[in-house]
Structure 1
Amino acid sequence: MSRKPRVYFPGATYHITDRGNRCAALFYDDRDRKRYLEMLENARSQYPFHLHSYCLMTNHIHLQLETINHHPQKIMSMINTHYAIYFNKRYEFIGHVFQGRYKASLIDSLQYFLEVSKYIHLNPLEAGICISPESYPWSSYKAYISTDYTDPHVTTQKALSYFYEPKKENYRLFVEAKRADG
């Protein structure tokens, strides 16, 4: 039985997740995470896209990715193939690094766009691996809330454009409001 084709059109935005095979670690150290981000940038140079938010957890990744003219399949195939080669070579492993096909949920509304951004940025906190979302170094959250920090991998303009001034503070309040509710 064949897989259902993914919905794609230029400008489509997705919440992409991918997990280590058998839920194993994708990243053992900061060098691995830096290499993944390098490979993401290499893919962007070949298949341009906008990255609105991201989070690299130990055994999975989250990307909020907006296409321009290329199907996310090409983007993710390039990133995952090159990362798997790097990972297996570095750790002298063989076999699959990623567990099956990456997941891509089409973001079809403003509300969903903002909720995905919030979810991605709260992921390390919800997992109990940090005390605040801004303290997790492998997420785009600091680029959203800090006036003196930029992240070359992410564009914050679209998400921040939906908030009143001061935009960064209002985004922070939006994301961290869940903490007070929960």
Structure 2
Amino acid sequence: MRKRRNWLQGASYHIISRGVRRLPIFYDDQDRHTYLAQLKKVKEGYPFILHSYCLMPNHIHLLLETKFHTPSDIMGLLHTRYAIYFKKRYQFTGHVFESRFTAKMIDSLPYFLEAGRYIHRNPIEASLPEKIEDPLWCSYYAYQNDTKNSIVTTKRILDYLGNPTMEEYQEYIEKDLIIVQK
């Protein structure tokens, strides 16, 4: 039996989970839409605050702040539901996700801000820069367009950054970023 993870009510976590053998967990927008819809449903039953997310082809990043439930409870339900969908759609057998998800507890404001920045930079660093503004891929869109997003809460990060303009937030995300053209 696995050892239960340490959990503090109200703590924030950078959560990472990969497809088994690094295989894709998202093949198209329907998959990403389904994952986000399941995330929303889980959030209704197990309330939490989602500060940012990124759905890469073979892994996910979430910056999640717990309320009353552990990250294990939240992610267990989310990934069980998504795996059922994925297996049915692709006639896939076996595990969809590689081992256990990683949950790095955020222990400082600089780490919290850097985790959010790292998550939004993920598509750019993977040479998918056009995907950063697609809300089915990344929460960056909610930060850039000041749109209401039923899943993401932008207030905490933007408040800590002094409520930057869209251009200032983009500069913050791209600061010291070297993009290699292919």
**In 2, Cα distance between equivalents of 1:70 and 1:61:** 20
Q: Which amino acid aligns with 1:43?
A: V
Contact 2:158–2:164 (8 Å) recurs in 1? no
Does the C-alpha gap of structure 1 residues 10 and 99 become closer, same or farther in structure 2, counting only changes over 3 Å? same
Does the C-alpha gap of structure 1 residues 162 and 32 become closer, same or farther in structure 2, counting only changes over 3 Å? same
What CA deviation, in whole Å up to 9, does each residue of 1:67-106 have, x standing for no partner? 0010110100000001111100111111100000000000
What CA deviation, in whole Å up to 9, does each residue of 1:5-54 have, x standing for no partner? 32211101000000000000001111011000111111111100000000
**In 1, Cα distance between equivalents of 2:179 and 2:90:** 42
1:175 counterpart (173, 176, 180): 173
What runs of 5+ residues in structure 1 fail to find an aligned partner? none
Structure 2-normalised TM-score? Answer: 0.91
Structure 1-normalised TM-score? Answer: 0.91
Does the C-alpha gap of structure 1 residues 26 and 158 become closer, same or farther in structure 2, counting only changes over 3 Å? same
1:25 aligns with 2:24: yes
Aligned residues: 180
Does the C-alpha gap of structure 1 residues 55 and 89 become closer, same or farther in structure 2, counting only changes over 3 Å? same
Identity across matched positions, percent: 49
What runs of 5+ residues in structure 2 fail to find an aligned partner? none
1:127 aligns with 2:138: no
**In 2, Cα distance between equivalents of 1:132 and 1:85:** 26
In structure 2, the partner of 1:74 is 73
**In 1, Cα distance between equivalents of 2:126 and 2:179:** 17
> RMSD in angstroms over aligned alpha carbons?
2.0
Does the C-alpha gap of structure 1 residues 124 and 136 become closer, same or farther in structure 2, counting only changes over 3 Å? farther
**In 2, Cα distance between equivalents of 1:165 and 1:45:** 28
